[in-house]
């Protein structure tokens, strides 16, 4: 499977490493392709999205309104993974209203893509170690298209996470609130970013 990763910051680098180690082909989407050598093939955002089976957003949410509209055609009927969180520059929550989320905003920017919320509750610092203390980190996943969600669930398993389907895309509102709590514990309470959510469920007979 070919995965386009939009952005090559902390999250984009972790995605590239995890996906490539799991055997997927990776291409990095950038605003403009520079002469700087990257460890993975790179292209413009539009070129990368056009050749990919799945597109993973790894740019800040605040950049999405500028970048994504031009990718509407390239992402048509493709799975788009949204790992963003609505944040201000100081990491405080960027308020979008009670009946909105970053994922829902992105789905309006890419109306014919299958937007799936995933990996937004996992700090980049721990993405490369999906198992902590013997337990797989939980990857909470939300989306309106079941087939698209199943593809992301399968992808999450291939890189070592324990995926949980939280329901339709509007449940991304709850996942983004979880990310805000995670940031508060890490930054506001000085807990650090070497932490992750692990959701334990009783095994049914």
Half-sphere exposure of 186 (CA within 13 A, CB side): 20
Look over the chain and give the mean of its residue pLDDT values, rounded to a whole number: 93
Q: Is the pTM of this model over 0.95?
A: no
Look at residue 93 and tell me whether its pLDDT is greater than 80. no
Tell me what the mean pLDDT of segment 124-130 comes to. Answer: 93
Pairing status of strand 131-132 against strand 135-136: antiparallel
Residue 35 or residue 185, greater confidence: 185
User: Taking the alpha carbons of 158, 160, 164, 167 in that order, is the dihedral positive or negative?
Assistant: negative
The better pLDDT of the pair 187, 199 is held by 199
Torsion of CA 77, 20, 15, 78, to 10 degrees: 0
Question: Do 18 and 42 form a contact (C-beta atoms < 8 A)?
Answer: no
Phi-psi region of 185 (alpha: psi -120 to 50; beta: other; left: phi over 0): alpha
2-188: CATH architecture: 3-Layer(aba) Sandwich (3.40)
pLDDT for position 204: 59
Task: Please give the Cα distance from 66 to 49 (Å, whole number).
Answer: 15
Cα distance between residue 170 and residue 87, in whole Å: 18
Query: pLDDT tens digits, residue range 128-163?
Result: 999 988 899 999 999 999 999 999 999 999 999 999
- Domain residue ranges in the chain: 2-188
């Amino acid at each position: 499977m070919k995965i386009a990763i939009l952005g090559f910051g902390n999250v984009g680098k972790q995605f590239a490493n995890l996906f490539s180690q799991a055997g997927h082909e990776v291409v990095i989407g950038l605003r403009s392709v520079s002469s700087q050598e990257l460890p993975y093939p790179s292209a413009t955002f539009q070129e990368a999205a056009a050749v990919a089976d799945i597109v993973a957003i790894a740019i800040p949410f605040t950049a999405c309104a500028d970048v994504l509209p031009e990718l509407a055609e390239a992402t048509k009927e493709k799975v788009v993974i949204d790992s963003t969180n609505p944040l201000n520059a100081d990491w405080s929550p960027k308020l979008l209203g009670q009946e909105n989320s970053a994922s829902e905003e992105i789905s309006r920017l890419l109306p014919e893509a299958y937007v799936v919320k995933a990996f937004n509750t996992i700090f980049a610092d721990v993405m490369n170690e999906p198992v902590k203390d013997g337990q797989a980190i939980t990857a909470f996943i939300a989306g309106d298209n079941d087939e698209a969600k199943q593809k992301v669930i399968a992808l999450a398993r291939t890189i070592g996470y324990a995926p949980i389907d939280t329901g339709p895309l509007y449940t991304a509102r709850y996942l983004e609130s979880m990310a805000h709590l995670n940031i508060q514990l890490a930054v506001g309470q000085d807990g650090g970013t070497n932490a992750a959510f692990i959701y334990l469920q009783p095994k049914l007979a």
